[in-house]
Amino acid sequence: MERRTPPMNAGERETLEGWLDFHRSTLARKCEGLTDDQAVTASAPPSGFTLIGLVQHLAEVERNWFRRVLGEEVPPVHPDQPNGMTGGFAVPAGTTLASALGTWQSEVEAARAASAGRELTDLGTIHGQPVSLRWIYVHMIEEYARHNGHADLLRERIDGTTGV
């Protein structure tokens, strides 16, 4: 996935989408060149975070905020999590990085489709509260930025790669 610098002088929607796509592509870059074993390694103990778990989590987040909150009735991507883990962080045996990235990319495309044609002021609902599409974009940028920081640390511990 190509990482483009977000527009520096654009309208609000284009700026928000540009920053979100920048962070989406950053996550993909953090995973490039890893084996499945490396991508499922919890490399920053005591945290159990893995890169595959982060990818799965962000697929879940994409589905939740852009589809479920905006009114589409779809189940969670990863509904059954062992050991009480939630949000896609648990990685079932046999999960490959390619399959996790494929599911995530499908959710990114579905998120784009779900938000296309909507206004930034259009509302969805979360926990009985109205939330605007604008707020969802800002939240998603924050969510990716935070988790890309986690991905930086995981990747550095796995193979020393930094700054991708």
Render pLDDT for 54-90 as a digit per residue (tens, 0 to 9). 999 999 999 999 999 999 999 888 876 655 556 788 8
- Report if residue 1 sits inside a domain: no
* C-alpha–C-alpha distance, residues 69 and 43, integer Å: 33
For residues 58, 61, 67, 72, the Cα torsion angle rounded to the nearest 10 degrees is 120
Residue whose structure tokens are 């009985």: 128
Look up the CATH number of the domain holding residue 22: 1.20.120.450
The DSSP bridge partners found for residue 107 are: none
Task: Give the model confidence (pLDDT) of 3-44 as tens digits.
Answer: 888 889 999 999 999 999 999 999 999 999 999 999 999 988
- Report if residue 164 sits inside a domain: no
The whole-model pTM stands at 0.93
Specify the number of domains making up the chain: 1
Q: Note whether 89 and 45 are within 8 A (CB).
A: no
- Report if residue 119 sits inside a domain: yes
- Report if residue 64 sits inside a domain: yes
